[in-house]
Amino acid sequence: MNEAEKQQRREYWHSLKPYLWQNRHRGCGAIGKELGQKDERVRRWMLKFGIPRTRNGEVMEGSGNHQWKGGRTIDKGGYVLLKSLGHPFANRHGYVREHRLVMEAHLGRYLLPSEVVHHKDGNHANNDFENLHLYVANSHHLKDELVGRCPNWTDDGKRNIDIGRRQPRPPEARANMREGQRRRFRLRGLDGQ
């Protein structure tokens, strides 16, 4: 191969650099098949260009993944979730409910897990700050939310609630309780001893 052919090959691969970068999540074999090149040649040029590649079975996360849709999704309850890597209260997939992020941005701090953000209009997708109200605890939220409403419990449901109140906790559950919880439990006579 003479110098002119080598230069032509370099120019060809340099023209493919954006394509290789965009398709880095795919395997070298798939890219090579599409380009009519051997996968080893694709791998070498990707290494020369410093393009990261995925190993077999490895999944690229975030914008590197070919199925990335911007880090915004809606859960079953209708809440908008945003990808927020590094957030201390993100779920196991790295998502946080948008209304909590809006409230945190307004307050300038992370919300405590016990704090509840309420949607005034009941629309979980409407995360405008004017539509949100912060409660210190869920008990405060329920106190305001359930005013004037009567729960429609069945007789079986009421009976199950009564049974649950009267049943002592199993010993292994008591062992995991903090001392203050154990003391309150004993004072109420619910420790079963």
Q: Enter the DSSP assignment of 64.
A: G
Indicate if the alpha-carbon torsion angle 75, 153, 135, 88 is positive or negative: negative
Indicate if the alpha-carbon torsion angle 167, 172, 173, 175 is positive or negative: positive
Residue 126 carries which side chain, given as an amino acid letter?
N
Contact 39, 27 (CB under 8 A): yes
Stated as kind and residue range, the H or E segment containing 135 is strand 132-135
pLDDT band at 124 (very low <50, low <70, confident <90, very high): very high
Indicate if the alpha-carbon torsion angle 59, 62, 66, 67 is positive or negative: positive
Q: What is the largest CA-CA distance in the chain?
A: 93
CB-count burial class (<10 Å; 0-12, 13-18, 19+) for 150: exposed
Query: Which long-range CB contacts under 8 A does 13-20 form with residues at least 24 apart?
Result: 13/45, 16/45, 17/49, 17/51, 20/45, 20/46, 20/49, 20/51
Which candidate, 157, 82, 166, places its Cα nearest to that of 125?
82
Q: Residues, the chain, total?
A: 193
Query: Which pLDDT score, from 0 to 100, does residue 105 have?
Result: 93
pTM value > 0.75: no
**How far apart, in whole angstroms, are the C-alpha atoms of residue 89 and residue 4?**
58
Query: Which pLDDT score, from 0 to 100, does residue 165 have?
Result: 59
Tell me: pLDDT of 103 over 60. yes
Question: Which one is predicted more confidently, 150 or 82?
Answer: 82
Indicate if the alpha-carbon torsion angle 96, 99, 104, 105 is positive or negative: positive
pLDDT band at 179 (very low <50, low <70, confident <90, very high): low
Question: Which one is predicted more confidently, 164 or 127?
Answer: 127
